[in-house]
Structure 1
Amino acid sequence: MAVAQRTALPAQRGAGWNKLAEKIVAHAFLIAISVIFMVPFFWMVSGSIKTGADLNAFPVVWFPKTLTLENYIAGLQVFPFARYLFNTLVICAFSMLGAALSSSFVAYGLSRIEWRWRTPLFVVILSTMMIPFYVTMVPLFTMFRAIGWTDTYLPLIVPHFFGVPFYIFLLRQFFLSIPKEMSESARMDGANELVIYWRIILPLAKPALAAVALFQFLTSWNDLLGPLIYLSDADSYTLSLGLTFFRSEYSSQFGPLMAASTVVVIPVIVVFFFAQRTFIQGITLTGVKG
Structure 2
Amino acid sequence: MKISTKKKINKILLHVGLIIFSAMMLYPLAWMTMSSFKESSTVFVDAHKLIPTVWDFSNFKEGWKGFGGITFTTFFKNSFIITFIATIGSIISSTFIAYGFSRIKFTGKKFWFVLMMLTMMLPYEMVMIPQYIMFNSFGWVDTYLPLILPTFFGVPFFIFLIMQFIRTIPTELDQAARIDGCNSISIFFRIIVPLVVPAMMTAAIFSFYWRWDDFMGPLLYLSTPDKYPISLALKLFSDPNAVTNWGAMFAMTTVSILPVFIIFFIFQRYIVEGISTSGLKS
Q: Which of the pair is proportionally richer in helix? A: 1
- Residue 197 (structure 2) aligns with: 206
Bigger mean CA deviation after superposition, 17-26 or 217-226: 17-26
What CA distance in whole angstroms lies between the structure 2 residues aligned with 1:248 and 1:34? Answer: 33
What CA distance in whole angstroms lies between the structure 1 residues aligned with 2:49 and 2:145? Answer: 46
Q: Following TM superposition, by how much is the alpha carbon of 1:30 offset from its aligned partner in structure 2, in angstroms?
A: 1.7
Cα RMSD over matched residues?
Answer: 1.9
- Residue 241 (structure 1) aligns with: 232
- Residue type of the partner of 2:248? P
Please tell me whether residue 20 in structure 1 is matched to residue 17 in structure 2.
no
What CA distance in whole angstroms lies between the structure 1 residues aligned with 2:128 and 2:94? Answer: 22
Q: Following TM superposition, by how much is the alpha carbon of 1:181 offset from its aligned partner in structure 2, in angstroms?
A: 1.2
State the secondary structure of the residue aligned to 1:203: helix
State the secondary structure of the residue aligned to 1:63: coil
- Residue 179 (structure 2) aligns with: 188
After superposing on structure 2, the runs of 4+ consecutive aligned residues of structure 1 that deviate more than 6 Å are none
Give TM-score, length-normalised by structure 1: 0.90
Aligned length: 278
Q: Following TM superposition, by how much is the alpha carbon of 1:277 offset from its aligned partner in structure 2, in angstroms?
A: 1.0
Retained in 2: the 8 A contact 1:55–1:61? no
- Residue 90 (structure 2) aligns with: 99
Note the 1:6-155 alignment, pairs <5 A: 13-52=1-40, 55=43, 57=45, 60-78=48-66, 80-115=71-106, 117-155=108-146
- Residue 276 (structure 1) aligns with: 268
Per-residue displacement from partner, 1:163-205 (whole Å, max 9, x unpaired)?
1111111010000001111111111101011111111111111
Q: Structure 2: which 5+ runs fail to align?
A: none
Per-residue displacement from partner, 1:73-112 (whole Å, max 9, x unpaired)?
1111135211011111111111111111111111111112
State percent identity of aligned pairs: 38
Q: Following TM superposition, by how much is the alpha carbon of 1:140 offset from its aligned partner in structure 2, in angstroms?
A: 0.9
Q: Structure 1: which 5+ runs fail to align?
A: 1-12
Bigger mean CA deviation after superposition, 114-123 or 237-246: 114-123
Higher-Rg structure is 1
Retained in 1: the 8 A contact 2:237–2:245? no
Give TM-score, length-normalised by structure 2: 0.92
- Residue type of the partner of 2:63? G
- Residue type of the partner of 2:252? A
- Residue type of the partner of 1:253? N
